[in-house]
Amino acid sequence: MNILIMGGPGAGKGTMSAKIVEKFNVNHISTGDIFRSEIGKGTALGMEAKSFMDKGLLVPDEVVNNMVKSYLEKLEDKKNGFLLDGYPRTLDQAKAFDALAEGSELAIDKVIALEIDFEKLADRVTGRRICKECGEIYHIKSKPSKTDNVCDVCGGELFQRKDDTVESLTVRLEEYSSQTAPVLDYYDSKGIVTRIDASQPIDSVWNDTLTALEK
């Protein structure tokens, strides 16, 4: 099964992705993974992408699409499919990838869209604290550390990311919505999107996600 997971900043994609990978034994793939792999190996596509990045330019959709396709085709362990995270980001990417994947084992079967309203998301994001040492994530309300600003796991110092503010969140959400709303509409027309209320407790979000993927 090939899955695409979508959701704005703070919607819980990381948590759900980890659970999906563990349950269904699929490859978890992000565009970051692909770029690092292709550039690190010095592939033609990787070097082409790097030439744009070195100039501070966005990598064209055509290059990104071909990199994703090439990376997926070369996976040594195909497992039971893949979970795409962070791609496709735009309608053009979605259409192009579908065209590239048509008739192959790379076609997307399911789309999980994690949705949460702004007020709940703002509370979740602005209350988030992260350990500088081990990366453990806390929340000042729902998952506070036993000692203020001290990690329960390793004793490291907790901090708030610079972009975990209402102002930054507003900008990121507007960008996300403008880019991804057409992508969701596109996959909706194919009947493969399940929208999940991500404001629920984690167990409830997972139960809804699991139900959608097991249909």
Largest alpha-carbon pair distance within the chain?
Answer: 55
Catalytic position from the list 69, 110, 124, 128: 128
Q: Tell whether 89 is covered by a domain.
A: yes
Contacts of 83 (CB under 8 A, 6+ apart): 3, 4, 5, 17, 20, 21, 26, 27, 28, 29
129 catalytically annotated: no
Which CATH number characterizes residue 19's domain? Answer: 3.40.50.300
195 catalytically annotated: no
Residue 82 and residue 19: Cα distance in Å, rounded? 13
Residue 211 banded pLDDT, cuts 50, 70, 90: very high
CA neighbor of 180 nearest in space, from 201, 199, 195: 195
158-198 pLDDT, tens digit per residue, is 999 888 888 888 887 887 888 888 999 999 999 999 999 99
Q: How many domains does the chain have?
A: 1
Q: Tell whether 145 is covered by a domain.
A: no
Q: Tell whether 146 is covered by a domain.
A: no
Annotated binding residues, written as ranges, equal 10-15, 31, 36, 57-59, 86-89, 93, 128, 131, 134, 137-138, 151, 154, 161, 172, 200
* Average pLDDT of the chain, as a whole number: 90
The parent domain of residue 39 ranges over: 1-116+162-212
pTM, entire model = 0.77
Q: Tell whether 38 is covered by a domain.
A: yes
Catalytic position from the list 19, 50, 95, 172: 172
DSSP symbols for 53-111: HTTTPPPPHHHHHHHHHHHHHT-S--TT-EEEES---SHHHHHHHHHHHTTSTT---EE
C-alpha atoms less than 13 angstroms from C-alpha of 27 in its C-beta half-sphere:
18
Catalytic position from the list 41, 143, 161, 190: 161
Q: Tell whether 6 is covered by a domain.
A: yes
Catalytic position from the list 50, 89, 95, 195: 89
DSSP secondary structure letter of residue 143: B
Q: Tell whether 128 is covered by a domain.
A: no
Q: Tell whether 139 is covered by a domain.
A: no
Q: Tell whether 90 is covered by a domain.
A: yes
97-131 pLDDT, tens digit per residue, is 999 888 888 999 999 999 988 888 888 889 999 99
133-160 pLDDT, tens digit per residue, is 999 999 999 899 999 999 999 999 999 9
Q: Is the peptide bond before 88 cis (omega within 30 degrees of 0)?
A: yes
Residue 133 and residue 149: Cα distance in Å, rounded? 12
